[in-house]
């Protein structure tokens, strides 16, 4: 197996054009597991750890450009204020060791339906920047996930960054696992209240072949929320929102949980996170968007 170590983005893209079979490796927390278990034996690994351009984030005009190789530990420490839901999801990933190495770019590259960042990227309207020697394009998160562990990248492309709105309004993420830490999600859920447009976005993870938005739930809640008065949300609205989120999923029975349990847990997560996000709104937190 060839081990290719570019030291700049230009070089990395040139190598990927020449060797589209080369498997990128960032934190390695997914790739090394696959190699160790002999799930795949690529002809080449493309080590991105020397490509410093991928390991930076910037903010311009209210938009965060998060480099693909920024590890979770930095998302938590540096971006918790502007991207709270992404920081919440990052805190639930693996263990401190995994969060030191693991990256959002790697979560996207793996495209597991259970990846913790995906529901958050969907509700924030994130765009994934893909680059190759042919140029750069931005892929809306909704168009990125194509199937179980399948995504929209071309063989010669690398994920270079993720674009996210800073200060997007109240937002929450929650996950159910078989224990509190070091656990792949049985199911997960994110919700964001976009105050400027009075729109709700909601997305489920680990409950369908791809992470997906719960659009009927979004439409229902956007119309029902008492945006102007900031009054408390009635139990019936919360319950209906939970039901619609649950209906948006199409989970399977597996070792981590049954489909029925996942559907039930999603409705609970939806009600719970909605309550937290609305409480933040009532308290006047995160109103700037
Ligand atoms: C013990 C353990 C616990 C875990 N717990 C969780 C968890 O709780 N939640 C969760 O979501 N995940 C979890 N994971 C999975 C993993 O940590 C995450 O998916 C992480 O985000 C992967 O990031 P990475 O940088 O390590 O990716 P890598 O392993 O380096 O790469 C992952 C995939 O992305 C591709 N890739 C990486 N960078 C790029 C790029 N720039 N462009 C194109 N493709 C790229 C790789 O080729 C590979 O296919 C866990 C893994 C382990 C081993």
Distance from residue 80's CA to the centre of ligand 1 (Å): 20
User: What is the best residue among 21, 92, 93 to mutate for testing ligand 1's pocket, by most ligand atoms within 8 Å of CB?
Assistant: 93
Q: What region, left, alpha or beta, does residue 125 occupy, with left being phi > 0 and alpha being psi -120 to 50 degrees?
A: left
Distance from residue 262's CA to the centre of ligand 1 (Å): 23
Q: Is the CB of 107 under 6 A from ligand 1?
A: yes
Q: Is the CB of 119 under 6 A from ligand 1?
A: no
Q: Is the CB of 86 under 6 A from ligand 1?
A: no
Residue 85 token pair: 């839901």
Distance from residue 228's CA to the centre of ligand 1 (Å): 41
Q: Is the CB of 102 under 6 A from ligand 1?
A: yes
Structure confidence at residue 286 (pLDDT): 57
- Nearest to 117, CA basis, from 102, 127, 130, 104: 104
Neighbours of 92 (CB within 10 A): 20
Hey, whose CA ends up nearest to atom 14 of ligand 1? Answer: 94
Q: Is the CB of 158 under 6 A from ligand 1?
A: yes
In 19-165, DSSP assigns E strands to 23-25, 44-47, 57-60, 63-67, 127-132, 135-140, 145-147, 150-151, 158-165
Structure confidence at residue 181 (pLDDT): 82
Report whether 256 contacts 186 (CB < 8 A). yes
CA distance 227 to 217: 16
User: What is the best residue among 56, 89, 107 to mutate for testing ligand 1's pocket, by most ligand atoms within 8 Å of CB?
Assistant: 107
Structure confidence at residue 285 (pLDDT): 65
The H or E element spanning position 4 is strand 2-4
Hey, whose CA ends up nearest to atom 3 of ligand 1? Answer: 94
Structure confidence at residue 289 (pLDDT): 41
Distance from residue 112's CA to the centre of ligand 1 (Å): 9
Distance from residue 99's CA to the centre of ligand 1 (Å): 10
Q: pTM of the predicted model, to two decimals?
A: 0.97
Residue 267 token pair: 């409705």
Report whether 271 contacts 246 (CB < 8 A). no
**For residue 110, which atom of ligand 1 is closest to its CA?**
33
Q: Is the CB of 115 under 6 A from ligand 1?
A: yes
Structure confidence at residue 33 (pLDDT): 96
pLDDT tens, residue order, the chain (289 aa): 999 999 999 999 999 999 999 999 999 999 999 999 999 899 999 999 999 999 999 999 999 999 999 999 999 999 999 999 999 999 999 999 999 999 999 999 999 999 999 999 999 999 999 999 999 999 999 999 999 999 999 999 999 999 999 977 999 999 999 888 888 999 999 999 999 999 999 999 999 999 999 999 999 999 999 999 999 999 999 999 999 999 999 999 999 999 999 999 999 999 999 999 999 999 986 554 4
């Amino acid at each position: 197996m060839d081990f290719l170590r570019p030291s700049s983005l230009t070089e990395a893209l040139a190598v990927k054009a020449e060797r589209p079979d080369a498997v990128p490796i960032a934190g390695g927390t997914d790739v090394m597991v696959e190699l160790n278990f002999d799930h795949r034996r690529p002809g080449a690994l493309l080590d991105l750890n020397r490509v410093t351009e991928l390991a930076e984030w910037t903010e311009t005009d209210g938009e965060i450009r998060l480099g693909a190789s920024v590890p979770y530990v930095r998302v938590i420490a540096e971006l918790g204020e502007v991207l709270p839901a992404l920081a919440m999801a990052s805190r639930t990933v693996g263990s401190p060791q995994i969060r030191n190495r693991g990256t959002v770019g790697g979560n996207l590259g793996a495209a597991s339906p259970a990846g913790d960042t995906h529901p958050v990227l969907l509700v924030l309207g994130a765009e994934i920047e893909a680059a190759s020697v042919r140029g750069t394009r931005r892929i809306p998160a909704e168009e990125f996930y194509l199937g179980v562990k399948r995504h929209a990248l071309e063989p010669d492309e690398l994920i270079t960054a993720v674009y996210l709105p800073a200060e997007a309004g109240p937002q929450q993420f929650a996950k159910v696992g078989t224990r509190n830490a070091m656990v792949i999600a049985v199911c997960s859920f994110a919700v964001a209240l976009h105050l400027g447009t009075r729109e709700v976005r909601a997305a489920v993870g680990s409950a369908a072949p791809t992470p997906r938005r719960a659009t009927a739930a979004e439409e229902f809640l956007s119309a029902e929320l008492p945006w102007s008065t900031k009054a408390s949300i009635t139990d019936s609205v919360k319950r209906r929102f939970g039901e619609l989120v649950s209906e948006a999923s199409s989970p399977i029975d597996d070792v981590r949980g049954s489909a029925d349990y996942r559907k039930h847990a999603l409705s609970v997560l939806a009600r719970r996170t909605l309550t937290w996000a609305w409480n933040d709104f009532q308290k006047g937190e995160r109103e700037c968007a």
